Amino acid sequence: MVCRAYVETLCGSARAGNQEAEGHHVSQLNSRILRSMMSFSHLLLVFQLLFIQQ
């Protein structure tokens, strides 16, 4: 739930950044953060599944 709110905040700030002069850079940075977050949560999910199986 916290993760989802954080993602929505990132997307919202990316949209707001697009309206500014440096919007492209801001949205690029946010998508990079978003991608690393998603891969991190994916790793956590894999670890949880592994621990449950043992």
CA-closest candidate to residue 30, choices 6, 3, 1, 4? 6
3-state helix, strand, coil in the chain (%, to 5): 90, 0, 10
Which of 1-5, 25-29, 44-48 is predicted most confidently?
44-48
Amino acid occupying residue 38: M
Given a cut of 70, whether residue 6 has pLDDT beyond it is: no
Q: pLDDT at position 10, please? A: 58
- Structural domain count of the chain: 1
More confident residue, 11 or 35: 35
Given a cut of 80, whether residue 21 has pLDDT beyond it is: no
Q: pLDDT at position 18, please? A: 46
d(CA 44, CA 53): 14
What share of the chain has pLDDT > 90, as a percent?
0
Whole-model pTM: value is: 0.36
Domain ranges, residue 34: 2-53
SS3 of 1, please? coil
